[in-house]
Chain A
Amino acid sequence: MQHCDDLAHQKLSFWNDTGKTGISAWVFSTDHKRIGLLYLYSVLSFFLVAVTIGLLLKIELIAPGRTIMGPVTYNALFTVHGVLMIFLFIIPGFPGAFGNLVMPIQIGASDVAFPRLNLFSWWLYLIGAVTIIFSLFTGGGPPDTGWTFYVPFSVKTGTNVSLAVFGVFIVGFSSILTGINFVTTIHRLRADGMQWGRLPLFVWSVYATAWVQILATPVLGITLLLIVAERLLGTGLFDPARGGDPILYQHLFWIYSHPAVYIMILPGMGVISEIFPVFARKPIFGYKMIAFSSLAIAGAGSLVWAHHMFTSGMSDTAILVFSFLTFVVAIPSAIKVFNWVATLYKGSISLEAPMLFALSFILLFSIGGLTGLLQGAAATNIHVHDTQFVVGHFHYVIFGGAGFAFFSAMHYWLPKFYGRTYAEKPAVVAWGLLFVGFNITYFPMILLGLKGMPRRYYDYLPEFTHLNQLSTFGSWILATGLALMLVNLSRGLLKGEPIGRNPWGGATLEWTTQSPPVTENFEQEPVVTHGPYDFNGAGVP
């Protein structure tokens, strides 16, 4: 790497200190920064494939009837889009990439607690991903069940479901090991003086996420194994004709997959909690409540799985209980939003790219959260169930929330690890295109759902045409913004201006080390004497 020739006064960074060269210096490295970048490159590759598929789906929906593909292809493509985005991008993306890159530095550790296990997790992720990709081209062709693999269809369909769910099982195992590694790291490897009350809020959110990974993923694991057993052995556990109960499958599936939503969003909230104080030049408002609300979201979020099943056939009491618990999750989420907004109050706000993404996160996530409440209430849920409204809602939460936080984190932290930075103006233009394109793409879906257009259908009635066309048009703006952002980032990180230790004036530990950091993260062991948002104590000019 020719990264810091002009920064000769610096110590060798983690990019060029190793004895090994070439690809083996990366794929067999136990350095958490290299593993974090490996995760980043792999999740972004799958993200781009899934984006392309998403664009194809939107083109199909530009007009009623068949446009560019038939219904069978459409079913396969939306399944693959969902599986790639959920299991290979957003769930492993945040903990794998930014959890690995940033969390150990923020707590003052030289690496995670189990570096070799960390590498093994990435390998498992890759093996699982290859298995999933392999399942698309072998056997009966790509699975067409939707990413939820609902029985009985997933048992009856002739497509390659068994291999795909086995791949997801392997990826899930990788997620569990990452969670174990992170909890242990945060408990055991904090620097001297890094008390729990001084942990950066991103670390708190990674901590809460890691617990969800540990406690929820095994249930998904067994559920997926049960699908394979059902398909291969005919165990009949979910087959009503043989006494089984398909609703039990849905319970087991959502016991994992609803908490998984919090694996996707919690680290994103952590990123926002880091960026607001730095770009408003103010200590965060309500540090303890933000830290606590991450744990509360992880806890309460694990008790609400059955709100996905209001129309599946449950007792009215169960619906009432799960509806109530779902509303409970809104409380810690709202605590966070209020505290972020209060942090901005009378702040000296600097509107640079990470901050723009963070600000738009609040709006998009709030729309996503509020449309979620509409579905948490049983009466409105029955009206919008399985419509485009749901599709709009979860894209607002997962793309508008977790995705925009991911982009924010990329602009905020990646310069640290490359030692160079992107160009500001294209970054702002890309943000504008993404924000506008996002809303034009997904807001029409919310309206379409309210009017009654079902999700997962490749055809629709003529009265839905205009909104669908608008949505497809928006997806092109969105894609343009994405392309501009990725080009600008990769150009800047490889050839841009070198940055110093602390370009944003942050007070957390990662800004005290050189950019890019040395292999052991710090030139000397840090001793923490102040909180993460105490800008006076940080000695920042």
Chain B
Amino acid sequence: MEISRIPDAPEAKQSFGIRLKKGFREYRIAYLFILPTFIFMLLVHVLPMIQGIVMSFLKLNQFTLSQYLKAPFIGLKNYSELLFNESNPVRQGLGYALRNTAIYSVVVTISVMVIGLLVAMLLNRDFPGRGIARAAMLLPWVVPSYVVGVLWGFMWQKEGIINYILVDILHLMAEKPFWLIGQNTIWAIIIPTVWRSWPFIMVVFLAGLQTIPDDLYEAAKIDGAGRLRQFFTITIPMLKPIMAVQLLFQIINNVYSYNIVAMMFGNGSGYPGKWGDLLMTALTRQTFGYWSFGVGAAASFLLMAAMLIIVGVWYRIFRSELRVE
């Protein structure tokens, strides 16, 4: 033993050197592989983002835009305009947009998660035509979101099919309401979004449900646990990591939602009204409409900061559920 150990020692040292070299070689490939993406992200994500932040401190309007690098530095003025000046065009209507985005994001996210989970459980049973049902339910998710905006905008019209079904067939209301004007508008944008988004969540949950071993349910049954109890003590906890990830992506998607609303109302140029305007549509329209790019940049920076806070809260809540490989 002793004898065999002694000649080993220098070799071990050498092999460390070789390991280091080998490690370098390994890393070299890794760096080589991420290099193109890195450059790309630097050019199209990082650089514009920094530029966006810088722009939020500049006086940028139609006059200074062409020479924007030399635009006057005005410190936090854009931010104070945005927060305190009621008559600033970008500020106008932002309160409504903020409220609508909050309602929209919360309602869509919760509905999508609940419907997705319930239908996934419905489809996780054995029944004839299961494959067809699953494929058919996925259809809305494949429809481009601008088509969803165009299509539902058409269906919501006063003499449209939805009012016909609600009023003339089901007699749920006395007269046909306007869906694209007034308080109803928020439903006119929430429902199509839910219609389009839930199938994906359903598919993900379905895949998750299939990874839960049957023995768990068997054991629970033997212990006398009812359906509801099984759902809350087995299904929900087992799906929690998936829920956490999907929740995050839903929040991001919904807060930054643009296409459906943009296409549903005046095809992008129009004002969706106090109950239909979302942050993204309001910011884009007002910033570009009034050439108020400094204030717009300040608003998008604040929006990003808010999103980072939301993500931080999300991470604190779900930290234990996330297994990082």
Chain B binds chain A: no
